[in-house]
A and B are shown apart, each in its own frame.
Chain A
Amino acid sequence: AQRVTQPEKLLSVFKGAPVELKCNYSYSGSPELFWYVQYSRQRLQLLLRHISRESIKGFTADLNKGETSFHLKKPFAQEEDSAMYYCALRGQGAQKLVFGQGTRLTINP
């Protein structure tokens, strides 16, 4: 079975502090992992995907197959990072994304 777990429903950090949103997954094969973000009054949108190995808005995420994790990190949080973040997984050949429950990130000034 495919499962994505985001252990923190809420995460609050101060501006300028490092932030890490945790994502753990359960999947026996080689998954594709994504982070989606929903800013206030905006649509859910792709933030980054692990195969791209890119940094978007200062965020990075590394797929750790040994720990089955795909944590999202940013060294210095900004107020505009406040949003709802969803980790998602696509299994090999699957035509769906399996989403985690989401983490609401609040950056305090």
Chain B
Amino acid sequence: EAQVTQNPRYLITVTGKKLTVTCSQNMNHEYMSWYRQDPGLGLRQIYYSMNVEVTDKGDVPEGYKVSRKEKRNFPLILESPSPNQTSLYFCASSWTGITGELFFGEGSRLTVL
């Protein structure tokens, strides 16, 4: 089944403990992106990647890192999580750029204590 898979789906962690949220897509999409969703703010883009080894900042990149070593994977790294990074995170992918349809993962709910 063609899909975007995120892990973990739920995570409670503590301030400062590094964590990685993985994202993998099996549709051979070139474009991948991370969004966070917060009440009253909709979805805001954190980082995006146009292709392997090509990443760029979105609107709210502070406190996050990403890498794109392989086409299918686009992990989101929180080097030193803080409580203001408690949020619902979505990974999404698309064929080429964002001119077409975005395919979303199921979301990862992260709580930082």
Contacts and interface: CB of A to CB of B under 8 A. Distances in A.
Nearest to A3: B42
Contact of A96 (B58, B103, B104, B105): B58
A96 B101 contact: no
Given A44-B90, A44-B104, A95-B48, A100 B98 contact: no
Q: Is the interface of B mostly helix, strand, loop or mixed?
A: strand
Given A95-B31, A95-B50, A43 B104 contact: yes
Classify chain B's interface size. Answer: 20 to 34
Nearest to B4: A43
Please list the 4 inter-chain residue pairs (A to B) with the smallest Cβ-Cβ separation, ordered nearest first.
A99-B42, A99-B43, A44-B104, A96-B45
Interface of B: 4, 31, 33, 35, 40-45, 48, 50, 56, 58-59, 90, 97-99, 101-106
Interface of A: 4, 32, 36, 43-46, 49, 86, 90, 94-102
